[in-house]
Structure 1
């Protein structure tokens, strides 16, 4: 009996071995005629069910092909289809030479160039101009954080990834609070947030998990013309591009652990749902559980992002995506300079002078706030003709927050206030967008044309629960022993909230927009672009259910133009560019007794620079100088609840970014940004000529260098290092005025910082092992804005193991 079983099992093993011997793997990459990789190109093996799509580098892999001869079919929207013969050997990988697809409008003969891949850049984006335009042809500046860079840096969140964007500075981390709870950043001297997903509204009021990110795009400067004023700022916008399904079964599961109790599991699973690969599903998910470096502080989160795509026929594709998350967080509390204090009264003017043990949280328990997100997206792409297509987009975004929020105020004599309130609110965003893209010739000049419309609505229901003493709990000494240290705890705050008051308000804003854009190739070298947007803004005001009153309702119209010029000194390699961009902001007048609306704020940018994409895409760079002026700024005064519209802000600066793959295995990215921002002509003499307290550091540097061994027995072993530098940042910056005369300047500074990180990894086809150290030198440093001092994590170590299938 045992012999029969053994013989049976042996026969199965031989059969499986024989089958395995007949299988092979096909690898290759797809490029355009300029050697730029083509992402999401469809690759299928004729006469089989096997197929896939190319990644951001134009690369693809098809597994489990039986030995034999085949024909590979490659296609992509806007390119001609191509068929290539190939042969698969038993149990061996087959690597094809680069396959070049020509644009349907090209008449040039095919040029095949092979080379290394610049993994830290992307030469084209369909979102920046709402049409597929190469970066070298685009008059606007934008930075891209690729998934390859995020993988090398072992990144877990969007906020970490954005440290790779030149000039983008995090003012404070996500609070989860309804309305503005997402992370705040300074870009070109102005506050912005990450509010767009694949070019449409996709708000998350907590830190965005990185598990579903294909890449991040930071689009610089006023960008209301194509993206509106509700989701952008004068300094730019952040657009996250998510992972899409492809025609093959595959994925990855990873586990990550590290300092301060970090435990993280992620999964990425992709599959075709039918035999002809027209129905595709991809699901990304993550579970995250970690503490802060302080004695209290904890975050636990769940995130899942399914993505479904269905190719109805050759012309119509529809997709439905979702982002669902649940976050329980008690992150480190914000520390403010008290609104009634100045650096002179505090006796200190630098965060390094705060005599505090930063590992103390000054709380007696975990103040857990719960944030839920449910974002749903639908898209339909229809190829109307060879040169015209329709894109219909729908987005609904819902965020809910509930729980206590705490913060501290710095006071003289090493004391601080401990404060708390309760958040209970939600916001819902609905956006519908219709775009038509086309190409046509006029007088021999190629036009790439866009016309579209957009309806955007956001409704917010916010509630604040106050303590009997408004938000004040107590005052403690932070430099030594604190006998009442643990009195500030969730139990006490909850009982005090029951004795306090509750304030709730409802608000709703609707924007109706139409826009048109044209990119004109006057010659092969000279490209002109123009666009304009019309917005009708309708603010329903703030409704107070307790008093049954509505205040601040108003409607406004606004136009936003945009112009650009690009001259290619060397075709598809070096270009000089210039742009004029506009943005605006409709601001509600909430002053008591106000009967008139504020005029829309207006921002205008002029920018010029150079872009490079040379040495067969191994070196990409952009250099630019910009000048932004904002008029009719609405700002809060020293009188609580009173705002005025006066003065303007100028923001001038220089930015540079370089990405390169000079030799096989070596990739690097370097960014530099200098920004000079000033408030001018304001009626408050304390502010004239000074840098805003939300503009961030004047000078910033980011860099990352990685190298992986090539053609050795240790191929796949790599290491990387890099970091960030920020100059001194003033979070309090005011003139001293005595009897109407300026006698000096009072400042409170966050000191300059230089943070270094390092990584080690071993990447193989079936697995990847990684090790990362953040803040390698254990530097004490801070970020902040709006008079906040936010201490950052000391040295942290994390490791990861991933299995690929």
Structure 2
């Protein structure tokens, strides 16, 4: 403490904000003291802080691509905070590649992240590929959930809507041929099992490829991870209240309110600030024939920030989600699709607008995330950040689902031709199901010179506890004819809440219990070393020690311990500094498979399943920041997967496995975020993935996994906003998503295909300082299309929503 007090008596700090001439914040620009080692980069709001500056006079310099460099003189007084703001104008020399007027308006581009590399890094400096969807794009598109925000991520395809089930109910997506879900919030554990409201979303980061080195394996996949970055308290009082309504009885009320310490000087950062984001949403199902299901959700997200001095910042916040509703219709294939008489979703004898359930099949769900962050600047070059997070999910209620039944199975007559005119209706309820995660993570970030070499280092310690107590129960309820077999059949009867409850009372349902606990102890380190101003290398390593306590996973599973090492390497060369970057990376991740039963009837601990990725490409930040683009080629090889070869009757028909399966997944990712002319913005992406099994199982060897999604996906959004004149603030947007055919069943004897689709969306808005009027149309052409995670899931038809927001 004595050293800290002495330092405070001889040093001061500089804080400020960097904006453009029209008041827009400038993110990820360098702010430094000329001739000194002190400096920092601006955050997403343009704020910067340079701490522990010795008392004296300095010149503060700011530089950014496409903007004229600026300098100001400043005198630092010991024990005092000096405020220094910059308003940057565009450089004609930097922008000679295109003819433009006005300030920088590539508003959808987020050029840096402090989470992707566990340290502040500009995208051009990072050898890893990632995509960012900011709140500006979500506001323009009238996107209300983080799940819908993913339609702006190149190479990502939604597979399964969130079900709300405690433990596993979140939405599922495919990236680079592998399934992932949203389980990270601000870089640490923060799972939500229902639809994730976007009211608290500052930006959504989707990091591509196996990322076990910095994020471990428990919350990520080989395709990557999704990280939700939440809104933080601001230094000014203000907020926004929004009311929206539209198709299928949709209505929503939301608020974003920021409160500050009014006793602090107006021109100084506030010591204490509080922000509350909350929203209530209700919507009926688009399936309006028969019983119309519903979903209602409440989201409450308070956030408190305390900054007693320049060196210490404490953030405390929470996410509380409460939902109730009926599940979306999901159709499984428990019998070979070859026995159904059709092999495509658009040929199925199903009524797209028909609800095959009755009333009362309702599930209640809750997700609660508690989050704490303490950041302390130990010295001008070293910062300590401590995270504590607690994540809870809960559900109770019904989970209806369906499977198509071949006529021969439904009637018992094996001589009938292959066709499906029957539907089996079933339920898998959850009964007070819970999953809890607790994580403590300690980071030490350094940014210092060793000779002439700049080092940006992160050292991390992590503890993650996962505690599952999930109780599934249910079974088949009835078999009903489909519409083409018996027109006018009343699907409201026979499968509703009272019928299911009576069935369970008369005959005990099947029970499926997941009750497991595991602790993971981790240490990791990463260093970005600048060999020259244009060449940098990255090296990182992680050591995980897994202590799995075992328990029940439908049947008893043995406890085990295992230690895994995960390395990572990368290189970035900028032939044109701050504009063009050539990059390559090697990334690694793993999956602990636990104990399995081998063909000899003995149990053994499986080797960790590993994924290794090699990737290379180019990143651009050209035309004065108006063009940001990434093109990459990747090759991921997964080895030591378990393969089922039968069941052991002597051990309650436990699965018999061998560890000899592999998978290769390779492809191309393309991302473009551009502002070609004033007021016009473009977001576009393309992903191609070629994924194949390499296994001794000839039924799937050489074939695309049925969980790998469509091989080709693309997204685009074109936006124009009138930048000046009488109609300033008036804008419109248009775009959509494309996916080619997806084989959700894919063996040498059984193929079932979800057809390709193009879904178009549009929006119009009028944005003013005190209010915003907006409207959108999703699925503009009323397209019937399906997604699926080994299933066929019909998606929502055309919907129209209008919104009015008041700003204060």
When normalised by structure 2's length, the TM-score is 0.84
Query: In structure 2, how many angstroms separate the alpha carbons of the residues matched to 1:472 and 1:386?
Result: 66
Deviation at 1:464, TM superposition (A): 2.0
Residues 1:679 and 2:683 aligned together: no
Matched, 1:604 2:612: yes
Q: CA deviation at 1:366?
A: 4.0
Partner of 2:343: 349
Are 2:591 and 1:565 equivalent residues in the alignment?
A: no
Task: Tell me the number of residue pairs that the alignment of Structure 1 and Structure 2 aligns.
Answer: 712
1:451-500, CA deviations, whole angstroms, 9 ceiling, x for partnerless residues?
A: 1110000101111223xxx4343343343433565211111101222331
Q: Verify the 8 A CA contact 2:312 2:377 in the aligned structure 1.
A: yes
What per-residue deviation string (whole Å, max 9, x for no partner) do you get for residues 184-236 of structure 1? Answer: 11110001000000000000111110111001000000000000000100010
CA distance 1:503–1:220, shift in 2 (3 Å): closer
How far apart, in 1, do the equivalents of 2:73 and 2:402 lie? 63
Q: Does 1:526 align with 2:535?
A: yes
* Residue aligning to 1:553: 559
Contact 1:508-1:539 within 8 A present in 2 as well: yes
Correspondence 1:65-464 to 2 at 5 A: 83=84, 97-98=88-89, 115-276=103-264, 277-295=270-288, 296-338=292-334, 341-412=335-406, 413-424=420-431, 425-464=433-472
Shift of the 705–74 alpha-carbon distance from structure 1 to 2, 3 Å rule, reads farther
Q: Which residue of 2 aligns with 1:10?
A: none
Q: 2:411 — aligned with what? A: none
Structure 1 gaps, min length 5: 1-24, 45-56, 59-70, 86-95, 101-112, 737-745
In structure 2, C-alpha distance between the alignment counterparts of 1:536 and 1:794, rounded to whole Å: 47
Following TM superposition, where does structure 1 have runs of at least 4 consecutive aligned residues deviating by more than 6 angstroms? 34-37, 71-75
* Residues 465 and 572 of structure 1: CA distance in aligned 2, closer, same or farther (over 3 Å): same
Q: Who is 2:633 aligned against? A: 625
Contact 2:186–2:227 (CA under 8 A) maintained in structure 1:
yes
**Counterpart residue number, 1:770:** 774
1:735 Cα offset (Å): 1.1
SS in 2 for 1:713: coil
- Identify which range, 436-445 or 186-195, moves more after superposition: 436-445
Q: Distance in 2 between matches of 1:529 and 1:484?
A: 59
Report the CA distance between 1:178 and its aligned residue: 2.2
Q: Match of 1:698? A: 711
- Three-state SS of the structure 2 residue aligned to 1:487 is coil
CA distance in 2, matches of 1:115, 1:166: 27
1:477 — aligned with what? 482
Aligned to 1:359, what secondary structure does the other structure show? coil
Structure 1 residues 73, 405: CA separation in 2 closer, same or farther (over 3 Å shift)?
farther
Report what 2:415 is aligned to. Answer: none
Q: What's the secondary structure of 2:604's corresponding residue?
A: coil
Task: Give the whole-Å Cα distance in 1 for the aligned partners of 2:48 and 2:708.
Answer: 47
Deviation at 1:588, TM superposition (A): 2.9
Change (3 A) 1:552 1:185: same
Shift of 1:594: 5.0
CA distance 1:149–1:638, shift in 2 (3 Å): farther
CA offset at residue 772 of structure 1?
0.3
Task: Map residues 580-619 of structure 1 onto 2, 5 A cutoff.
Answer: 580-589=586-595, 591=597, 594-619=602-627
Deviation at 1:294?
A: 1.1
- Aligned equivalent of 1:489: 496
- SS of the aligned residue for 1:128 comes to coil
| Distance (Å, rounded) in 2 between the aligned partners of 1:359 and 1:169 | 23
1:638 is displaced (CA, Å) by 6.9
Gaps of 5+ in 2: 1-20, 32-40, 50-63, 66-71, 92-100, 265-269, 407-419, 648-652
- How far apart are residue 342 of structure 1 and its match? 1.7
Aligned partners of 2:220, 2:744: CA distance in 1, in Å?
Answer: 23
SS at match of 1:580: strand
Alpha-carbon distance change, 554 to 760 in structure 1, aligned in 2, over 3 angstroms: same
Q: 1:762 Cα deviation (Å)?
A: 0.4
Cα deviation for residue 598 of structure 1 reads: 1.3
Q: Secondary structure at the match of 2:502?
A: helix
Shift of 1:709: 1.2
2:747 maps to what in 1? 734
**Residue 333 of structure 1: CA displacement?**
2.3
Aligned counterpart for 1:802 among listed residues 797, 801, 805: 805
Give the whole-Å Cα distance in 1 for the aligned partners of 2:200 and 2:782: 30
For residues 258 and 143 of structure 2, the distance between their equivalents in structure 1, rounded to whole angstroms, comes to 21
Is the CA contact 2:153–2:206 (under 8 Å) kept in the aligned structure 1?
yes
Distance of 2:620 and 2:240 partners within structure 1: 35
C-alpha displacement of 1:440: 2.3
The corresponding residue for 2:12 is none
Following TM superposition, by how much is the alpha carbon of 1:510 offset from its aligned partner in structure 2, in angstroms?
0.8
* SS of residue in 1 equivalent to 2:550: strand
Partner of 1:711: 724
Q: Distance in 2 between matches of 1:732 and 1:27?
A: 53
RMSD of the alignment, in Å?
A: 2.6
2:676 is paired with a residue of what secondary structure?
Answer: coil
Return the match for 2:44 from 33, 39, 44: 39
Deviation string 1:518-542 (CA, Å, 9 cap, x unpaired) is 0000001111000000000111112
| Structure 1 match to 2:756 | 752
**Deviation for aligned residue 1:646:** 2.2
Q: Distance in 1 between matches of 2:339 and 2:74?
A: 73
Equivalent position of 2:666 in the other structure: 652
Structure-2 residue corresponding to 1:7: none
Question: Could you state the TM-score of these two structures normalised by the residue count of structure 1?
Answer: 0.85
